[in-house]
Amino acid sequence: MTQAIRSNKTINAKTIKTTAMHVAVIAVMATAVVGCNRGIKPVVNDPVKLVQIAQPISVLQPVFSTDVGSKKASSKDPLDLQVGYANSQIVTASRGGDLIGFGSTGQRLWSVNVGDQITGGVALDALSQTAIISTRSGQVMAFDSATGAKRWQTQLTGSVLTPALISNNRVVLSANDGFLHGLSLQNGQSVWQFATQVPAISIRGSAAPTLLDAKTALLATADGRLHAITIDNGLPQWSRRVGIGAGSSEVERMSDVDGMPVVDKNQLFAISYSGQLLGIDLASSQVMFVNELASLKSLAVNNQQVIATSLDGKVVAYNRTNGQVLWESDELAYRHLTNPVMIGNYIAVGDFDGVVHLFDPASGKIVSRVQTKGALSSLQVQGSRLLTQSTSGQVAIWQLAG
């Protein structure tokens, strides 16, 4: 997602289009944000031009696409709205406040306007047929995903910029003020809150909560930590630091973990803005490796690899056991990449121009591309389908060919 510096002292978001390597430049930007604005512009690297694929193969086939954008939308927040998908239900949200339900092949079933800018969502629970969204004013709302009827709404202490985690009769959310919330799925009442440390300056945005195991939520926070929280009652189980910032200024010391951690085969992987990629063996609680790479995006894993996209547009595959670099691609340098995802036997990565690139995980070569409209900030996979929603509100769903 597009990120901006957030300050506890003066919240005045400004888009960062640079890399962690330019710490001095970012420090100047931060001074402009929280101090006197002298109009100093950051150095921006031009995105590389795409090279035509010599022998492209067909990997993805379009299922449907639709535009859910709104003229009432505001670009004040760095939004990364995501498609809610469960079984045959699809629910999308627009920046302008529209929540829309679709059938599996794209037929529009219902539409409601929530009366506020939607900043987080859509989380969709198939069992209870519930869609959860969050708004700019800090409201969390639950809707019947089959009909669009509102079930409840709850006011939080801060806004939420990521989809909720729905599990164990709880709705778990990470608010932008550092509080983690556990709400009742039935009525939205607050069951627990967990306060985390909020740095003086951090990246505006947060990682979506995810499951560590059947009863535990894993949450990444702006202070560079991972927190394991019991979903039912909010009791903390453990906390571990991932991001370690270094430098004399608050900007240089930013260590946000904004990419959702990945848990797979009793291994945990996480990456920070300050440049630490961490692999942990959960059975022994031992660190398997720490590598140097800066990112604000979630990771992807397959049987042999953990894959990351860096702030400067590199795609890197590591051995998931020892952290050895298997390959690195700079073919998409400075193209403001999404998180990588595994779709079938391929690695998919989106960019600012609405292009989804498919990599061969063995060679690191791009073998296929598909195109949508508008900048992409994240990708999702549900089964054999790839889901995208651009920042301009273009929703597209592709099916794995064959």
Q: Is residue 67 part of a domain?
A: yes
The whole-number pLDDT of residue 202 equals: 52
Give me the number of domains the chain comprises.
1
In a domain, 339, yes or no: yes
Rg from Cα positions in the chain: 20
Joined together, the tokens standing for residue 118 give 């939607």
pLDDT given for residue 220 in this prediction: 87
Looking at residue 15, its pLDDT comes to: 34
The predicted model scores a pTM of 0.87
pLDDT at residue 204, rounded to an integer:
61
Distance CA 377, CA 2 (A): 7
Torsion of CA 19, 21, 23, 25, to 10 degrees: -60
pLDDT of residue 216: 98
DSSP3 helix / strand / coil % (the chain, rounded to 5): 5, 45, 50
Query: Bridge partners of 228?
Result: 218, 238
Residue 275 lies in a domain: no
The answer to the question of residue 396 being in a domain is yes
Buried b (16+ CB within 10 A) or exposed e, 173-195: bbbbebbbbbbebeebeebbebe
Range of the domain at 357: 48-76+326-402
* Residue 372 domain flag: yes
**Does 93 map to a domain?**
no
Write the CATH number for 390. 2.40.10.480
Mean pLDDT by 10 residues, the chain (402 residues): 42 33 36 37 84 96 89 57 92 96 93 96 96 97 98 96 96 93 98 83 73 95 87 96 63 64 95 86 94 92 98 97 98 97 98 98 98 94 96 94 84
Q: Say what the pLDDT of residue 28 is.
A: 30
Separation between Cα atoms, residue 310 and residue 316, nearest integer Å: 8
SS3 of 238, please? strand
Q: Are the C-beta atoms of residues 157 and 140 closer than 8 Å to each other?
A: no
pLDDT for the residue numbered 259: 83
- Residue 177 falls inside a structural domain: no
Residues, the chain, total?
402
What pLDDT does 247 receive?
54
Domain contains 245: no
What DSSP letter does each residue of 353-401 carry, written as one string? TSEEEEE-TTT--EEEEEE-SS-EEEEEEETTEEEEEETTSEEEEEEE-
pLDDT of amino acid 6: 46
**Cα–Cα distance for residue pair 344/193, rounded to 1 Å:** 38
Neighbours of 23 (CB within 10 A): 17
Neighbours of 320 (CB within 10 A): 24
